[in-house]
Amino acid sequence: MEVRNIAIIAHVDHGKTTLTDALLRQTGVAKEGVSMDSNALELERGITIYSKNASIPYKGTKINIVDTPGHADFGSEVERVLRSIDSVLLVVDAQEGPMPQTRFVLKKSLELGIKPIVVINKIDKPAADPARTEEQVLELFLELGASNEQSNFPVVYTIGKQGIAKLKLADDSTDLTPLLETVLAHVPPASSADALNKPARLQPFNLGYDNFLGRLAVARVYEGVLKTGDAVFVKKPNGETRQGKITKMYTFRGLQKVEIGTKDSGLPDEAPQSGAEAGDIVLIAGLPDIYIGETITTDQNAEPLPAIAIDEPTITLTFLVNNSPFAGREGKYVTSRQIRERLERELEVNVGLKIDFEHEQDGYKVSGRGELHIAILLEQMRREGYELQVSQPQVIFREGNGGELSEPYEETVVDVPAIYQGSIIERLGQRKFVMKDLRVHENQVRIIFEGPTRGLLGYRSQFVLDTKGEGILSSRVIGFRPYAGEIKKRQVGSMISMMSGKALGYSLWNLQERGILYINPATEVYAGMVIGNTSKGEEMTVNPTKNKNLTNVRASASDEAINLVPPFLLTIERGLEVMAEDEYLEITPESVRLRKQKLTEIERSKAKRS
């Protein structure tokens, strides 16, 4: 059967998954309400975390679709996916226009010689401006050095949410047929008779894991036919070769994985496949040490396929056994060995992650592509019953041959109402961010900055405050550049409990004037736990368990009515953001607590003096 391979790429939230789901529905392979975002965390957050494969049948052709995550922390995954497909649907929100991640994924696609199909989505939004968006997309193509052929892209206008696509805005359409037709017309066939007759060559671009089968590789078949049971050679890009055997293979039909060589597709018109054929994207088991970018082949003398680069981590932090006074109360897996085994399993599939297990007594050094990348792992672990504590994330520096330091830099795009423009430029300027571009559109401004990742750590919650929640900030790593120099951040001081017990409304009411609280009344606290931050920036030790002095009680009813400001409850991400260097974030299945590493004031002042 003829195959076409596409990836859906875009900035976060521009509608990739919604559109993919609609394509699955229209072609009859998924029912109403079924989504590619299937992981519990994805559903809760409404974002895609893992790229996923599906396929749809259309007019006798199998269209493999890879839905990719839009958040910049997962950009490296998108880059790998792009190596395995032949074209992309570049989805752009008709109101927001191209955003940093649009630029990144487009740049990578163009460099690979891909000819994108542009999908202007969400044209139903009241403030949508498809014509302006299209113009900006064309500008972006030209700016990124697109060839004539590439910048002569087909455009499809869509309302992904309603499953509607049009070739002209004025067209009447009730489904996605125009988009499917565009795919057939513009995406080259994934294989040819010539490729089919060669010895098998495949390349994994993603990893998976199954409790029974072990490590799985998601691979594109470039040439030949691979059969279950085949003896294969696995070649590293440098030619180093080892042997293996394929134990099981799956192909994608709709959202299902169907074992190759069996007859259980549920789609009666498709013959059971006898092997993984050139052009297809398949899941392979049997190679326990298979890795991204290697070449699987049946021919010992075959050339390895070009390597697939994996982005280096940019931030690092330590995972430790929880040793707070509340340790072990809520977690099921709490020991160093259990945490280690979990992290080792994570390394099987989490390609951008690096872990140093060497100095076990000091915890495990975990490095990743950004705060969200790490936060998702921690969130996943707590859901599985793990309990642990982590240190403050730090940027990873690199040292050149001459000892010169470099650090990760990001491109940051800020969309804010024009009145906040001045304060944002000033605030980011202090954090060594340089303005690269400023565009005004009605009352909104879009400002593009470049600066060190270090300057952004801990900035997001400040940004929300500075823009009264009306701003959007998105950012992505653009590479390592020379050290930007010292950054003086406004000191945030912690409000630390000196007592253990239950926090009382009366004391919180007194404390809320002095800063922002992280806890509710009746929250259990311990001495050394951080219960809030102070507005003046100084560190403050307080007693949140103090009750009203009983001898002073007056019998007035109004006295009892305490007006408490809703607290800033800590999530893992907020915690990673607000924590100080001498603190730990304690994470259990039920709680996220911030604490001082040294729990008593005496220990803390001793540590400060030395």
Ligand X SMILES: Nc1nc2c(ncn2[C@@H]2O[C@H](COP(=O)(O)OP(=O)(O)OP(=O)(O)O)[C@@H](O)[C@H]2O)c(=O)[nH]1
Question: What are residue 532's DSSP bridge partners?
Answer: 495, 517
Residues 412, 437: Cα–Cα separation, whole Å: 11
- Interface region with ligand X, contact rule CB under 6 A, candidates 41-49, 147-155, 167-175, 297-305: 41-49
Q: How far is the CB of 12 from Mg ion (least distance, A)?
A: 8
Whichever of 125 and 598 has its CB closer to ligand X, that residue is 125
Kindly state the tokens that stand for 211. 């409790």
Among 539, 524, 515, 546, which Cα is nearest to 601's?
Answer: 539
**42-81 footprint of ligand X as x/- string (CB under 6 A):** ----xxx--------------------xxx----------
Site residues for ligand X, window 259-288 (CB under 6 A)? none
Q: How far is the CB of 12 from ligand X (least distance, A)?
A: 4
Whichever of 23 and 530 has its CB closer to ligand X, that residue is 23
Residues 498, 496: Cα–Cα separation, whole Å: 6
Where is 53: in which H helix or E strand?
A: strand 52-58
The listed partner (ligand X, Mg ion, none) that binds 258, CB under 5 to 8 Å by sort, is none
Question: Judged by CB under 6 A, does residue 121 bind ligand X?
Answer: yes
Whichever of 71 and 604 has its CB closer to ligand X, that residue is 71
Contact partners, residue 249, CB within 8 Å, separation at least 6: 226, 228, 259, 260, 261, 275, 276, 282, 283, 284, 285
Q: Which residue has the tokens 């020379």?
A: 482
Contact residue for ligand X among 6, 63, 120, 159 (CB under 6 A): 159
Q: How far is the CB of 136 from Mg ion (least distance, A)?
A: 22
Number of residues this chain uses to bind ligand X (CB under 6 A): 21
Q: How far is the CB of 48 from ligand X (least distance, A)?
A: 3
Whichever of 8 and 106 has its CB closer to Mg ion, that residue is 8
> Would you give the distance in Å from CA 5 to the centre of its chain?
23
The listed partner (ligand X, Mg ion, none) that binds 201, CB under 5 to 8 Å by sort, is none
Q: How far is the CB of 16 from ligand X (least distance, A)?
A: 4
- Interface region with ligand X, contact rule CB under 6 A, candidates 130-138, 159-167, 308-316, 443-451: 159-167
Q: How far is the CB of 40 from Mg ion (least distance, A)?
A: 15
For residue 160, the 8-state DSSP code is G
- Interface region with ligand X, contact rule CB under 6 A, candidates 116-124, 356-364, 404-412, 493-501: 116-124
Beta strands, E only, 468-574: 472-482, 493-497, 501-502, 515-517, 524-525, 529-534, 540-542
Where is 346: in which H helix or E strand?
A: helix 336-349
Task: Report residue 447: phi and psi, to 5°.
Answer: -115, 135
Are 147 and 111 in contact, with CB atoms under 8 Å apart?
no
Question: Judged by CB under 5 A, does residue 48 bind Mg ion?
Answer: yes
Residues 429, 378: Cα–Cα separation, whole Å: 32
The listed partner (ligand X, Mg ion, none) that binds 124, CB under 5 to 8 Å by sort, is ligand X
Q: How far is the CB of 164 from ligand X (least distance, A)?
A: 8
Kindly state the tokens that stand for 61. 């052709």
Beta strands, E only, 211-304: 214-223, 225-226, 231-235, 241-245, 248-253, 256-259, 276-277, 281-285, 295-297
CA-based torsion, 280, 281, 286, 291: positive or negative: positive
Contact residue for Mg ion among 4, 11, 14, 16 (CB under 5 A): 16
Residues 283, 274: Cα–Cα separation, whole Å: 15
Task: Report residue 52: phi and psi, to 5°.
Answer: -140, 150
Kindly state the tokens that stand for 394. 């730090």
Are 375 and 573 in contact, with CB atoms under 8 Å apart?
yes
Q: How far is the CB of 14 from ligand X (least distance, A)?
A: 5
Residues 326, 319: Cα–Cα separation, whole Å: 17
Q: How far is the CB of 436 from Mg ion (least distance, A)?
A: 28
Cα–Cα distances in angstroms (integers) from residue 463 to residues 57, 421, 456, in the given order: 46, 12, 10
Contact partners, residue 233, CB within 8 Å, separation at least 6: 241, 242, 243, 244, 296, 297, 298, 299, 300, 302
Whichever of 128 and 339 has its CB closer to ligand X, that residue is 128
The listed partner (ligand X, Mg ion, none) that binds 458, CB under 5 to 8 Å by sort, is none
Question: Judged by CB under 5 A, does residue 17 bind Mg ion?
Answer: yes
Site residues for ligand X, window 160-179 (CB under 6 A)? 160-161
- Interface region with ligand X, contact rule CB under 6 A, candidates 122-130, 132-140, 264-272, 333-341: 122-130
The listed partner (Mg ion, ligand X, none) that binds 18, CB under 5 to 8 Å by sort, is ligand X
Whichever of 13 and 407 has its CB closer to Mg ion, that residue is 13
Contact residue for ligand X among 125, 329, 354, 460 (CB under 6 A): 125
Question: Judged by CB under 6 A, does residue 575 bind ligand X?
Answer: no
The listed partner (Mg ion, ligand X, none) that binds 159, CB under 5 to 8 Å by sort, is ligand X
Contact residue for ligand X among 3, 4, 7, 13 (CB under 6 A): 13
The listed partner (ligand X, Mg ion, none) that binds 121, CB under 5 to 8 Å by sort, is ligand X
Q: How far is the CB of 375 from ligand X (least distance, A)?
A: 15
Residues 96, 309: Cα–Cα separation, whole Å: 30
Q: How far is the CB of 121 from ligand X (least distance, A)?
A: 5
Whichever of 43 and 569 has its CB closer to ligand X, that residue is 43
Site residues for ligand X, window 397-416 (CB under 6 A)? none
Contact partners, residue 443, CB within 8 Å, separation at least 6: 417, 418
Among 4, 9, 166, 185, which Cα is nearest to 88's?
Answer: 9
Whichever of 161 and 329 has its CB closer to ligand X, that residue is 161
Number of residues this chain uses to bind Mg ion (CB under 5 A): 3
Residues of this chain that bind ligand X (CB under 6 A)? 10, 12-18, 46-48, 69-71, 121-122, 124-125, 159-161
Residues of this chain that bind Mg ion (CB under 5 A)? 16-17, 48
